[in-house]
Amino acid sequence: MTRPANTKPDNTTAEDTGGAEAADERVTPLMAQYIEIKTANPDCLLFYRMGDFYELFFEDAEVASRALGIALTKRGKHKGADIPMAGVPVERAGDYLQRLIAQGFRVAVCEQTEDPAEARKRGSKSVVRRDVVRLVTPGTLTEEQLLDSRRNNWLLGVARARPSSGEANFGLAWADISTGAFHVAEVGAGRLAAEVARLDPGEIVLPDTLYSDTELAEFWREQRAVTPLGRDAFDAMTAERRLSAFFGVATPEAFGAFSRLELTAAAAIATYIERTQFGQRPPLAPPQREALGQTMAIDAATRVNLELLRALSGARQGSLIAAIDRTVTAAGARLLADRVSSPLAEPAAINARLDAVAWAVEAADLRLGLRTLLESAPDIERALARLALGRGGPRDLAALARGLGVASELAGRVAAAAPPAEIALAVRDLTAPDPALSAAITAALADELPLLKRDGGFVRAGYDPDLDALRRLSEDSRKVIAETQARYAEETGVKSLKVRHNAQLGYVVEVAAQHGDRLLGAPFNATFVHRQTLAGALRFSTVELSELESRIATAADRALAIELAIFERLVAQVQAEGDAIKAAARALAVLDVTAALATLAAAEDWTRPVVDSSLAFRVEGGRHPVVEQALRRGGGPFVANDCDLSPPTPAGEAGRIWLVTGPNMAGKSTFLRQNALIAVLAQTGAFVPAKRAHVGVIDRLFSRVGAADDLARGRSTFMVEMVETAAILNQSGPRALVILDEIGRGTATFDGLSIAWASLEHLHETNRCRALFATHFHELTALSARLKRLTNATVRVKEWHGEVIFLHEVAEGVADRSYGIQVAKLAGLPASVVARAKTVLAELEKGDRGAPIHRLADDLPLFAAVRPKAAEAPAPAPDPVAELLAGLDPDDLTPKAALEALYRLKAAARSPS
């Protein structure tokens, strides 16, 4: 995007445009101002306002030109070299900001802070005052076009305390300034990565000492946007004072009990927001403490493997959230994503959500009506934030009014339907805002609204008499002048009287010379003042015309000033109701999510799970929510399967492990993932894709499925597999659910088999968790004879005329082989390769390769060592009996020779081997 040729920025002084043509190379006042502001913001691209453009200079211009694909020009010289320049129009700045933020840049927005006319009063070479009014960073966005309406944009603060011994603790604080949500928690080092993965923050702020810590340097590099801050932002000694000042309270104790680490992280968030917003305070709620253990811990690898919010491609399509999202509001979509990211770990809270969904499932007609109403509810959370930060417009005010109107109507409908506890609380919050606020906004605003308040025209006609009069002057000046002319003609009796405009005199009354004496004499000379005599005409001025001219000349500005005053008055009323509005917004989101999950359950035939504090995990007729929908679109059915990982006895202290064997393409990975997703859905508070389900609360969920390398960190596919497996074996406990697929397949056969064997035993004996363990090492199935909670299961297949048919049914038992060659044939390997592979497989199978492993299962209690390979064992001693028999020919023996041979055989049989 480039400006038209020979066009200079508007609203600039002479110095603003004269620098480019300066004959010498001195730093112009404009460039001096730019360099000073840029020096104060070295880590940001500087959007420097010049009229209708944001300009960038020097290195910023070169960077922006490459990043945005805009023209790079030049402006004057600096130290003997051309000054690179690039610019973007102010009206499209949001689009360019979005692209820069997505690429990881931070932007300082520098605005003109005075009228150019005021600058000219100081001299023709004076520069318009400018200053940075905002730092745009990934975690502090509020504009609609910069945000994903379906996801929270968390700004995460991380503080650390190193104890004299033991594991370090971390204080976390995360806020979304676009919605006002604010939370804190304290976690151990072992849970830090899982919490960061759960929040998926847009930006992380942390102390520069923590950022440079060698132990965590690699972890921080993996994150999307990390901003190190100086020690003052994370000063624990001043944290309480800074947080209190931010919220205007005497002490944060008014909000609850927080640890020192939590206060430190929360104060750092408040400090960073103040620095980036330059005095504008977003409507943040007081920090809410999340106790450790309230949610299911899911690490980053598991989230990727299970595709909770994004598919492996990075897109939303194909993820769990895309499959289950039936919300109709932006706030509802955000709440659903948060719930899926953070499944609960408390049965009472989970069942409260399930009660709400069950109520909505039963009330089908009411649910349909609620969803129709909700569709018209705007995103009032983010509208409120924009208004509080001075970035909102008339449409945000209108959105609030509509949203509050919807909230009031919903409250009436739901209250009459005997809702459960969670919905009853939502109804209370829906009615929290003052109903007069919505009426006041509606009365003030016009039906058609501009995007920006500075454009004017957003106040309804008839709302303010003074504004209406100014609008008439501004918009209907000709009509006003004509009315004045007609009145003067009637009063004076001079029908030919005209009101005209003169460049020097302004508005004047002009009459022919023969009527001049009439206006010069009494009583009209008191009103009409003679100003000019022309050939054949006289001109007069009046006080009324002078005032009218002044009013017409300034009518537009005065009208806009009145509109802006009305706007600010309404915004002040909105801010006074800020807490109540946020409560209503959350209630709308809760209703939307509840109705959406009920709609999903009814449409997809999902059932309410039983969720309690036991160690049960029993699913009957379970299905994969994403795959089932994909198959339905393709016209194929999904084969449902059971899964029971509950303890063998009701009083059991540990759940079962299913060892799942079967060929590739048969559905093992789908089976594993679907059970993990059923657990996530159940603890989210949703119905699940199954006939019946009983889930004892899972505190940690682990999934190691698929193969991927990490070459940037020097990790092979097998190393990634082992790192993820190590995390599982080191962290899972009796309440965990573990999903493992093909452990050990990334290395040599016996190495891999040994690792899988030992891992399976460790899960059974040490972790004692509920687990699904899929493998192609069929030799592992022998362990079920010794490990009492290990159950063999297989995915059934049929062979028909040399072809393999996948039944996708999981049943107890053991797969006899992997059918890998058949799968290779299906994949399109050349027929000669398939034929040769069958020959090689037949030769290998003659060696009875599985026999030694089965003996290991019988002989080794914990598979602590491996016997020497068969090829390395000493050769067996010769068998004398066999040698004697081999040398005899019965047809050639006489009776005496036969008797002698019998004696020799008897003697050989008695001798030791």
Q: Detail the residues annotated as belonging to a binding site for ATP.
A: 662-669
Give yes or no for a contact between 663 and 804, defined as CB atoms under 8 angstroms apart. Answer: yes
CA distances from 785 to 790, 791, 854, 857, 858 (A): 8, 9, 11, 8, 9
The answer to whether 381 and 331 have CB atoms below 8 angstroms apart is yes
For 175, the token pair is 């806020």
DSSP characters over 181-209: EEEEEEEEHHHHHHHHHHH--SEEEEEHH
Q: Are 140 and 271 in contact (CB under 8 A)?
A: no
Tokens (6 digits) for 387: 């208004």
Total Cβ atoms within 10 A of residue 206: 25
Structure tokens at 146: 């910069």
Place of tokens 């043509």: 21
Mark the binding-site residues, compressed into ranges: 662-669
Q: In the beta sheet, which residues pair with residue 507?
A: 501
For residue 381, what are the contacts with CB-CB under 8 A and spacing of at least 6? 178, 179, 180, 331, 582, 585, 586
What is the full DSSP assignment across 252-293?
Answer: GGGG----HHHHHHHHHHHHHHHHHHTT----PPPPEEPPTT
What's the helix, strand, coil split of the chain in %, to 5?
Answer: 50, 20, 35
Neighbours of 29 (CB within 10 A): 16
Helix crossing, 347-362 with 578-604: angle to 10°? Answer: 70
Helix then strand count (H, E) for the chain reads 33, 27
Burial 659-686 (b: 16+ CB within 10 A, else e): bbbbbbbbbbbbbbbbbbbbbbbbbbbb
CA 126 to chain centre: 46
Burial readout 60-70 (b: 16 or more C-beta within 10 A, e: otherwise)? bbebbbebbeb
- Tell me if the bond preceding 912 is cis, omega within 30° of 0: no
Chain-centroid distance, C-alpha 629: 24
Lookup result for tokens 């959406």: 596
> ∠ CA(613), CA(618), CA(621), 5° rounding?
140
Q: Is the Cβ–Cβ distance between 701 and 679 less than 8 Å? A: yes
DSSP string spanning 302-358? HHHHHTSSS-TTS-STTSHHHHH----SHHHHHHHHHHHHS-B--HHHHHHHHHHHH
User: Pairing mode, if any, of strands 169-176 and 155-161?
Assistant: antiparallel
The CA distance from 865 to 860, in Å, is: 8
CA distance 118 to 96: 31
In 3D, which of 701, 772, 706 has the Cα closest to residue 740?
A: 772
Q: 466, 562 in Cβ contact below 8 A?
A: yes
Kindly state the tokens that stand for 185.
């928690």
| Residues listed for the chain | 913
Residue 457 to residue 470: CA distance in whole angstroms: 12
